[in-house]
A and B are shown apart, each in its own frame.
Chain A
Amino acid sequence: MASQIVQHEHSSTLKHHFASDAQQLDAATIGMWLFLVTEIMFFGGLFLAYFAYRQAYPAAFASASNKTNLWLGAANTTVLICSSLTMALAVHAASLGKRTLLVLFLILTLLLGGAFLGVKAYEYHDKWVHHEIPGAHFECEGCEDAGHAPLFFSLYFGMTGLHATHMLVGFVLLVIIIVQAARGKFTAKWYTPVEMFGLYWHFVDIVWIFLFPLLYLIDRSHTGLK
């Protein structure tokens, strides 16, 4: 790119307490991965609750899970995987210093993320309409063992809600990064924020990769793909 700054031993992006760019990048990567480890454990608590109660109340979980919309879930998974691809390609573009391509892929990622959240919001609305929100007005029409169904829906909203919160945070960060990218802040030598954000975005994708089968795909054999 034309705007590229010539990098020397001490580039403008090197903080004073680091000895080299390599050390700085390495530190950022390790730091990001450690952060993701804390995220794994953070979601881990919810996954544990999920497995514990699914084991205790299989009938309630199976029939409550059938209340979710498999097509929307699968479509949303696809959307999120697409956004992961565009994010990976954005990092790729950044590493080659292709600014326009970088911005394009980031915007695509943003749009796909928005689509995911839109579908999620629609699903939440659907649950609201059907009173499938745990609380005083909870109903689970036709559920087996409806008495334990609130546990499934508490976990459903807890897990997808936490996931959606992560998406929202990612959304805000992504907007900032797009602006920075458009202004040419990143170069082929230094695009650490893009790379770190990519790790975050893929992590959020991975969480969904587990949420989809656990929340949408229990005991579908009796209902089929509907």
Chain B
Amino acid sequence: MITAPPPEKTTPNYLNHQHGLKSWLLTGDHKRIGILYLISVTMFFALGGLFAALIRLELTTPAGDLLESNQYNKVFTMHGVLMVFFFLIPSIPATLGNFLIPMMIGAKDLAFPKINLLSWYIYVLGGIFTLYVLLTGGIDTGWTFYTPFSTSYSNGYVIAAGLGIFINGFSSILTGLNFIVTIHRMRAPGLTWFRLPLFVWAHYATAAIMILGTPVVAVTLFLVVLERGFHIGFFDPAYGGDPVLFQHLFWFYSHPAVYIMVLPSMGVVSEVISTFSSKKPFGYTFIAFSSVAIAVFGFLVWGHHLFVAGQSIYAGLVFSVLSYIVAIPSAVKVFNWAATMYKGQVRLETPMLYSLGFIGLFTIGGLTGLFLASFGMNVHLTDTYFVVAHFHYTMVGGALLGYLSGIHFWWPKIFGRMYSQVWSKVSAALVFVGFNLTFFPQFLLGYMGMPRRYHVYPPEFQVFNVLSSAGASVLALGLLLPAIYLTWSLKYGEVASANPWGATGLEWQTSSPPIAENFEVTPVVTTEAYDYSTQQEVVHVG
């Protein structure tokens, strides 16, 4: 633990109260760890995005003219592995969650600061394994590692990649563990469960999934590594092993994992919509409980990834009906967000634009999920571009837009600077348009039957692929802009006030950037969450 030095006179905060690389690499401060995560997660996102660009570039023509088949397979595998395990899963929880949860509940830190730092190092270690795979020749299994391809036939570095993800899993587990203990035991006096911000509820549900699901995928990939390394059979049909068992174990985590990605975004959106409507979220308890319901029911639906895989159709039907039930809490959230804006005082600042974009895209992502949840429909659509479009609508349109919304919302709090309002709105618009252009055509491609993970494809699919690639370049531009204006703002941005958006949560009641211990005195909460009548100290920027 770093013990804070006596406060200096010159507005000390968590960024400047200690200096030097060591003060960052050995920090126990959840805010600094959040920033370490922010940096590393952004690097992996950029890398994953580079692979995405290669994929779209290759698919502009039906023939395989840019990459060899083997290279293409490695490119989409690396795109998936990096984006899923090293960007989407840690993105909001490990950066914004890490930074904000203790502040939102009026605590000085997470319950276990050293474990928090350890989780970042584990993440980096897992990342190093994955980068090693990347540099030494890649891996071509797809991010799903299906056996027996991964164990017996792949010519990629399955063992190193499997270990990388195995290791990375523990980072996720430790983060989740820290969150749950912190939310249970570190809340400020007076902060009851139903006074918690919805962001915290969403992260509580996320953390529960991390703890319950991650170990299963960890042990599964570990078995794959053992099977590949020592040729002993766990899933190998040569010994009577069952590859479908691998898929069960894999999706037991990897389906709930999409809720790890999207629930925190929902938390962000709940905060942002309320703040920029200056209104308590409509149906607070319903939004809160729907997060928990998604986490619980989310564990009962993994089998809809196995409808055509050789699973019993009776199991498939149960998974199908349960998948519809998990859709309801998501619908509840969407309608409650819309209702929150009703008779609100809506300000279309950048975070709000991203959040509104989230609602629109997530709605489409969720609704197309209904197609895939229907067993009969799924038989035609699974393993086609329809699935690719669907999960990008939830993962990019959902998780990524929520992440960007959150970054724009709390940027002034984290760094004490404002960014360009003009450029950020341009970027939000480009991302929204580019995203839809990229992924909407893929729904149509999917219904026409274009299978996913195809390097070359029949010429009748080209029109939509060209549209998609064109959209991807707009999307790429939209995503590059924030990197520029946000970095620029660190030095040249207008100094932000403590509460530039007129938001409620406790995190806005301390200075921007916050002091090392978050609060001068531990706050005592006496009002309900989102009580806009108690707003003081309001400075508008923009």
Contacts and interface: CB of A to CB of B under 8 A. Distances in A.
11 contacts: A34-B176, A37-B212, A39-B215, A42-B216, A44-B215, A44-B216, A56-B242, A134-B232, A134-B239, A135-B232, A158-B234
Nearest to B212: A41
A16 B214 CA distance: 31
Interface string B212-256: 111110111001001000111110000111100100110000000
Contacts of A34: 176-177, 180-181, 211
A151 B240 contact: yes
B180 A17 contact: no
Contact of B230 (A39, A40, A48, A135): A135
B185 interface: yes
B185 to A, nearest CB: 5
Nearest to B184: A30
A48 to B, nearest CB: 7
B173 interface: yes
A71 interface: no
A23 interface: yes
A27 B111 contact: yes
B526 interface: no
A136 B240 contact: no
B422 interface: no
Contact of B234 (A30, A41, A49, A57): A49
Interface in A122-149: 133-136, 147-148
Given A17-B109, A49-B223, A27 B211 contact: no
A154 B107 contact: no
A16 B1 contact: yes
B38 interface: no
A213 interface: no
Q: Which range holds the interface residue count of chain A?
A: 35 or more
A56 to B, nearest CB: 7
B177 A31 contact: yes
A49 B113 contact: no
Contact of A41 (B1, B213, B240): B213
A135 B211 contact: no
A155 interface: yes
A173 B3 CA distance: 27
Contacts of B233: 134, 150-151, 154
Contact of A17 (B113, B213, B215, B226): B113
A45 B220 contact: yes
Interface string B163-179: 00000000001001110
Given A45-B219, A157-B232, 4 more contacts: A16-B517, A17-B108, A44-B216, A46-B219
A41 B180 contact: no
The prevalent SS among residues of A at the interface is: helix
Contacts of B111: 17, 27, 31
A48 B242 contact: no
Which of B107, B185, B216, B249: most chain A Cβ within 10 A? B185
Interface residues of B, number: 45
B186 interface: yes
A40 B213 CA distance: 11
A225 interface: no
Nearest to B246: A49
Contacts of B234: 49, 151, 154-155, 158
Contact of A31 (B112, B214, B223, B230): B112
A41 B217 CA distance: 10
A53 interface: yes
B239 A42 contact: no
Interface string A18-43: 11000100110011001101111111
B239 A147 contact: yes
B173 A38 contact: yes
Contacts of B517: 16-17
A99 to B, nearest CB: 26
Contacts of A2: none
A32 to B, nearest CB: 9
A48 B240 contact: no
B14 to A, nearest CB: 13
Nearest to B522: A19
A41 B176 CA distance: 15
A46 B220 CA distance: 8
A52 interface: yes
B215 A148 contact: no
B223 A158 contact: yes
A166 interface: no
A225 B517 CA distance: 64
A24 B505 CA distance: 25
Contacts of B4: 16
A15 interface: yes
